[in-house]
Amino acid sequence: MKNLLQSQSANENNSKWNNIIQRNKSLYQRNNDIRSEFERDYTRIIHSKAYRRLKHKTQVFFSPENDHICTRIEHVTLVESISYTIAKYLGLNAELTKAIATAHDIGHSPFGHQGEKILSEISKKEIGKNFWHEKNGLEYVDKIELLETPNGELQNLDLTYGVRDGIISHCGEIDERCLKPRTEYIDLYNYEKPNQYAPYTWEGCVVKIADKISYLGRDIADAITLGILDKKTTDLYEFLKLSKNTKINNTVILNIFINDLCENTTIEQGLSFSEEKFEMINNLKSFNYKNIYLAEKTVNSIEYFKLILNKIFYFLKETFYNKNKMEKICPYLVNDFEDWLKNYWNLERNEENKNEVIFNKEDLKDYCQAIIYYIAGMTDNYAIEMYNKIISF
């Protein structure tokens, strides 16, 4: 039903409103600013370097020659579009979904989910904790990414709680047919694993679901384009219950799930799929894992990713003990990392700049954490370039 959730929208009439718009610090104000709180978040996100680097990060398929295969930034745009459609129809705050969707993958590592797994293996071994892109996204906007204020000082993005919550709560690997927001206003750093809590807002729930249905459809379309799927597409007609006269493409798949979600959602149950379409989603997910994500063509590059990320990490770790030696081997990488670190160890403090020093340069675990953050921010191309610089003469 159109505008079904209007009474639940993130606005001044919502009992959660003050929590939703809460910021960690006092974001600078312009006297002539005409934007809403979430519009301000959105513009800070798209002006950030972390957002811009998404255009050179893998979504699923690494380094495709075809320019029309989805990259991470296109996926983000698609999630934003789907979220907008759902939020607009249900009467929710589309400005909030836009900001969450645009920022939701800002913490992704190079080389997609395979890169994320490799960094997590390194992180568990070296600092005793998992790396996961939702948590890294929260830490990036809170601690790492910097923008200049109108006065020229560097500040973190300082996003609203509603957007920050949407980032860490967006895990698309959901198994529930229905999704409702949680009622508790929690410290987001209490998250210990992906999908531990439901989002705090209905808008966050919309982005979480949009993330899932966006990649299911687009990954199939890209796999068909690349020739990874051919005769197997006959299974898709069975899963989707489509006639053979219907073209299987991303818009057809998305239309099925978006309409079903909007038709079956209730305030009592939450954002809901029908039993039939939810089974269809699970069948498609299994199909994608078997025929796309675990296909030989897709997994052949994993060892290459491991080689690159491990080499960069342990090269930089060695600079903790012997910077001069490593600088002779690859001065560009050592100096770039050192320049990056200066923002978090030596950032000049004044009344306008309220960022905190987050690393202790003398602590090895902090140093390793800094390397993880640094590598996670790399594009695929930059990581490959740095690897080649390390091994070249």
- Asked if 10 and 123 touch (Cβ cutoff 8 Å), the reply is no
In whole angstroms, what is the distance from residue 5 CA to residue 7 CA?
Answer: 5
Residue 179, classed as helix, strand or coil, is strand
In whole angstroms, what is the distance from residue 141 CA to residue 339 CA?
Answer: 19
Encode burial over 281-315: b for 16+ CB neighbours within 10 A, e otherwise.
Answer: beebbebbeebbbebeebeebeeebbebbeebbeb
What would the pLDDT profile of 171-191 be if each residue is shown by its tens digit? 866 678 999 999 999 999 999
- For the chain, list residues with pLDDT below 50: 348-352
DSSP 142-159: III-EEE-TTS-EEE---
Q: How many angstroms separate the Cα of 159 from the Cα of each of 12, 32, 167, 388?
A: 18, 20, 11, 37
Q: Which residues pair with 70 in a beta bridge?
A: none
Quote the pLDDT of residue 223: 87
Q: What angle do CA 108, 301, 105 make, to 5 degrees?
A: 10
DSSP 334-359: HHHHHHHHHHHHSPPP-SS-------
**CA-based Rg of the chain, rounded to a whole angstrom?**
22
Quote the pLDDT of residue 350: 44
Quote the pLDDT of residue 237: 79
In whole angstroms, what is the distance from residue 110 CA to residue 237 CA?
Answer: 33
**What is the residue type of 82?**
I
In whole angstroms, what is the distance from residue 381 CA to residue 378 CA?
Answer: 8
Query: Counting beta carbons within 10 angstroms of the beta carbon of residue 346, is it exposed (0 to 12), middle (13 to 18) or buried (19 or more)?
Result: exposed
In whole angstroms, what is the distance from residue 254 CA to residue 213 CA?
Answer: 7
In whole angstroms, what is the distance from residue 8 CA to residue 238 CA?
Answer: 37
Angle between helices 202-226 and 275-288 (to 10 degrees): 50
What would the pLDDT profile of 316-334 be if each residue is shown by its tens digit? 999 999 999 999 999 999 9
Quote the pLDDT of residue 299: 84
In whole angstroms, what is the distance from residue 391 CA to residue 393 CA?
Answer: 7
Q: What angle do CA 71, 133, 333 make, to 5 degrees?
A: 75
Quote the pLDDT of residue 97: 98
Pairing of strands 154-156, 146-148: antiparallel
